[in-house]
Amino acid sequence: MNIAMLVFIACSVMAIVGALALILAREPVHSALALVLVMISLAILYLLLGAAFIAAIQILVYAGAIMVLFVFVIMLLNAGEEVRTNVSRLAKWVGLPLGIFFLLEMAYSLFREYGGRAALAGGTAAPVPASTRDLSMKLFTEFVLPFELTSILILIAVLGALVLAKRES
């Protein structure tokens, strides 16, 4: 048991609790706060895995910018406490078992692939720090096509924001 392991367990628990709170909370603002918790825990997990740049982006974009958007939408809709209808039967009898099945299968696959100890230890087993320099080189040389395409993707989003949200003059 070392410190990395402790941090890993703490963050995993935080992420799971946050995700559950996100779904179960009735106040949309509470859900949003729970989401921040999930994002930050994930960022620390990325750091443990050796992905410092991804961790920084996780905080900057997700915990920062995306959260702002969520809060804006909550304010925009003037959303108060959720009114729950009865949980759909399909979700209860098909969705939930399927979700649990998926979780077990995932766990099984990881155990089979990496062996029990490594799977349990998660990222702390052998973090090979991925240097941001290597990542950048790959992104800007090998993956130049998808990189340039993301700018088109952003253009599409610009169009979407204007088409769907702008008041007609």
Partner 1 sequence: MFPPLQDLYRIAPELVLCAFGMLVMLIDPFVPATRKRSMGWLAFAGTLVALASLRWAALNQGSAYSGLFRVDMFSLFVHAIVIGVSALAILGSFDYLDRENIQRGEYYALILFATAGMGILAGSTELITAFVGLEMSSISTYILVGFRRTVLKSNESSLKYFLLGSFATAFFLYGIALTYGATRSTRFDVVNQAIAAHGAGPLLILGLGLIFVGLGFKVVAAPFQIYTPDVYEGAPTPVTAILACGPKAAAFAVMLRIFYSAFGSASHVWFWAIWVSAILTMCIGNFAALVQTNVKRLLAYSSIAHAGYILVAFAAASEIGVAAVLFYLAAYAAMTLGAFLIVAHVGGTNEQRLNIEDYAGLGTKHPWIAACFALFLFSLLGLPATGGFLGKLYAFQSALDQRIVWLVVIAAVNSVIGAYYYLKVVVAMYFHESNKEWAPMPMRAPMFVVLLLTAIATIYFGVLPNRLMELAIASARSLR
Partner 2 sequence: MNGSYLDSYAPLLLMFLLAAGLAAVLIIASSVVGRHLKVRAKDQPYECGIRPTGDAREPYSVHFYMVAMIFILFDIEAIFLYPWAIVFKQLNMFGFVEMLLYIAILVVGYIYLWKKGALEWK
Question: Which positions lie near partner 2, rule CB under 8 A?
Answer: 2-4, 7, 47-48, 50, 53, 57, 60-61, 65-66, 68-69, 72-73, 75-80, 124, 126-129, 132-133, 135-137, 139-141, 144, 147-148, 150-152, 154-155, 157-159, 161-162, 165-167, 169
Q: Contact residues for partner 1 (CB under 8 A)?
A: 105-106, 108-110, 112-113, 141-146, 149-150, 152-153, 155-157, 159-160, 162-164
Q: Rank residues 20 and 106 by Cβ distance to partner 1 and give the closer one.
A: 106
Contacts 24+ apart (CB under 8 A), 78-85: 79/28, 80/27, 80/28, 81/26, 81/27, 82/26, 82/27, 82/28, 84/26
User: In terms of Cα–Cα distance, which of 75, 74, 46 is closest to 61?
Assistant: 46
Q: Among partner 2, partner 1, none, what does residue 112 contact (CB within 5–8 Å per kind)?
A: partner 1
Shortest separation between residue 42's beta carbon and partner 1, angstroms: 14
User: In terms of Cα–Cα distance, which of 53, 49, 17 is closest to 121?
Assistant: 49
Shortest separation between residue 160's beta carbon and partner 1, angstroms: 4
State in Å, rounded, how far the first CA of the chain is from the last one: 63
Shortest separation between residue 133's beta carbon and partner 1, angstroms: 16
Q: Which two tokens stand for residue 38?
A: 């999930």
CA distance 164 to 29: 24
Shortest separation between residue 1's beta carbon and partner 1, angstroms: 26
